[in-house]
Chain A
């Protein structure tokens, strides 16, 4: 087993793990706020649920990158390159870094923004449309990081 493959696998695993942690935090805090808002006004359930789910996307992006990376290095197909050079392994690891770092941070910030927006909706229900925009803005950076990681992983595969 080569150390290169270990690094590539670590990149995929960390991308899924850190993104999942960030999303769990974001969805968790937004869920607490949603529960608070719904206690006195259960009609807010559907609106607050949407706001709660927004920070969950980063976990999905992490999972996506992990899948792509695992399939490119052959772990998922059962044809893993056990002699992967260290340089290639490190390149895969580096390709996962944007998702590994940006997704958890953006998920936490998006969760906190969702909390603030749930407060806004519980005060003025008619602001729901506007309140969706604020957490959605945070998503931009999660998508940019996802894009770079996807391009980088396919780029490394082409090199290898």
Chain B
């Protein structure tokens, strides 16, 4: 039924013209200050010079989702795979808020598939039935763990793993290859990042079992064994997987690896730029916008902190257009 998305894909094609291309990103990277970047972005209809940059990013994310909702108002659930990360971030915030006294404004993020208020109330009142089924058990476990152990990191690990599982599962359930690949790549790279951090900080095998989410392209038990032995064992294990290309980046820094993940995602979605049928080009546009916003965020942060242009260019992602 690829025909049902023809109108939507044609509109996406027009919108792709407004995406920031490599030339604009280079211009931003070469700008002398954050103010100059904001001026350049404003010329591209990004944000408003009056607003703080964080507000601009929220506005840009909202623009993307308002557009997608306008195109496919009755099929938004298929894109939950992109919104689950925010839901689980909000769950983390709600669990911590419920265990710490006082008011904590601004800890929740809009744009998830469930209202942050629903998550906040469900966790505060321990009424987990108000949450989606996949989230109930982890919400209960994370809250109990935090109350009993006061170990915020363990609570984060439990929720992060559940988030990866949910994203992967939502991708597979969508029946859309691109979304399935997105879910798998997000889950696998999340596992790799956790394994590397655990290896560097000397975490136990038991911790890794809790932290790593099962996925198709990695043997999680082997990865956990390797991470318990150290970073060299992780690298040796990854050398036999489809993530062998990322080894150099992993050795450099987590930031380099994150850039590799985004670049790989861009290469995965690239063929969709010529595909006029199906839901894949719409999903590709959402991913492209997400990476675009992430890249602009990195550039602005670098300008604000006076990072040299060469270092900044190492962090800048490939663009979809």
Contacts of B277 in A (CB 8 A): 112, 115
Please tell me if the beta carbons of A36 and B17 are within 8 angstroms of each other in the complex: no
Please tell me if the beta carbons of A36 and B3 are within 8 angstroms of each other in the complex: no
Contacts of B16 in A (CB 8 A): 123
Stretch from B6-14, B142-150, B169-177, B212-220 contacting the other chain? B6-14
Any A CB within 8 A of the CB of B62: no
Question: Which residues of A in the span 1-52 have a Cβ within 8 Å of any Cβ on B?
Answer: 29, 32-37, 39-41
Bound-state CA distance A40–B7 (Å) is 12
C-beta contact mask, B280-304 vs A, less than 8 Å → 1, else 0?
Answer: 0000000000000000000000000
Please tell me if the beta carbons of B11 and A39 are within 8 angstroms of each other in the complex: yes
Any B CB within 8 A of the CB of A88: no
Any B CB within 8 A of the CB of A116: yes
Beyond A115-B276, A115-B277, A116-B276, is A122–B6 a contact (Cβ under 8 Å)? Answer: no
Please tell me if the beta carbons of B276 and A37 are within 8 angstroms of each other in the complex: no
Bound-state CA distance A115–B9 (Å) is 10
Interface residues on A, range: 10 to 19
Q: Give the distance to chain A from B10, nearest Cβ to Cβ, in Å.
A: 3
Q: Give the distance to chain A from B100, nearest Cβ to Cβ, in Å.
A: 47
Beyond A115-B276, A115-B277, A119-B276, is A37–B14 a contact (Cβ under 8 Å)? Answer: yes
Beyond A112-B277, A115-B277, is A36–B15 a contact (Cβ under 8 Å)? Answer: no
Any B CB within 8 A of the CB of A118: yes
Please tell me if the beta carbons of B10 and A118 are within 8 angstroms of each other in the complex: yes
Contacts of B7 in A (CB 8 A): 32-33, 35-36
Bound-state CA distance A29–B1 (Å) is 12
Bound-state CA distance A78–B143 (Å) is 86
Bound-state CA distance A118–B277 (Å) is 12
Contacts of A37 in B (CB 8 A): 10-11, 13-14
Please tell me if the beta carbons of B10 and A119 are within 8 angstroms of each other in the complex: yes
Contacts of A122 in B (CB 8 A): 10, 13-14
Please tell me if the beta carbons of A41 and B3 are within 8 angstroms of each other in the complex: no
Bound-state CA distance A118–B3 (Å) is 14
Contacts of A34 in B (CB 8 A): 10
Bound-state CA distance A99–B9 (Å) is 32
Considering only CB atoms, which chain B residue lies closest to A41 in the complex? Answer: B14
C-beta contact mask, B1-32 vs A, less than 8 Å → 1, else 0?
Answer: 00100111111011111000000000000000
Bound-state CA distance A116–B273 (Å) is 11
Please tell me if the beta carbons of A40 and B6 are within 8 angstroms of each other in the complex: no
Please tell me if the beta carbons of B276 and A123 are within 8 angstroms of each other in the complex: no
Q: Give the distance to chain A from B273, nearest Cβ to Cβ, in Å.
A: 9
Q: Give the distance to chain A from B68, nearest Cβ to Cβ, in Å.
A: 14
Considering only CB atoms, which chain B residue lies closest to A116 in the complex? Answer: B276
One of A36, A40, A112, A118 near B8 (C-beta < 8 A): A36
Contacts of A115 in B (CB 8 A): 6, 10, 276-277
Question: Which residues of A in the span 52-83 have a Cβ within 8 Å of any Cβ on B?
Answer: none
Contacts of A118 in B (CB 8 A): 10, 276
Bound-state CA distance A3–B118 (Å) is 72
Bound-state CA distance A37–B16 (Å) is 12
Please tell me if the beta carbons of A39 and B14 are within 8 angstroms of each other in the complex: yes
Q: Give the distance to chain A from B198, nearest Cβ to Cβ, in Å.
A: 45
Please tell me if the beta carbons of B15 and A40 are within 8 angstroms of each other in the complex: yes
Please tell me if the beta carbons of B13 and A119 are within 8 angstroms of each other in the complex: yes
Please tell me if the beta carbons of B6 and A29 are within 8 angstroms of each other in the complex: yes
Q: A39-B14, A112-B276, A115-B6 are in contact. List 20 more A-B contacts (CB 8 A).
A: A29-B3, A32-B6, A32-B7, A33-B6, A33-B276, A35-B10, A36-B7, A36-B9, A36-B11, A36-B14, A37-B10, A37-B11, A37-B13, A37-B14, A39-B10, A40-B11, A115-B276, A119-B10, A119-B276, A123-B17
Q: Which residues of A pack against B, CB within 8 Å?
A: 29, 32-37, 39-41, 112, 115-116, 118-119, 122-123
List of 8 A-B pairs having minimum Cβ-Cβ separation, nearest first: A36-B10, A40-B14, A32-B6, A36-B11, A33-B10, A32-B7, A36-B7, A119-B276
Show 19 residue pairs from A and B whose CB-CB distance is below 8 angstroms, ordered by the A residue.
A29-B6, A32-B7, A32-B10, A33-B6, A33-B10, A33-B276, A34-B10, A35-B10, A36-B13, A37-B13, A40-B14, A112-B276, A115-B6, A115-B10, A116-B276, A118-B10, A118-B276, A122-B10, A123-B16
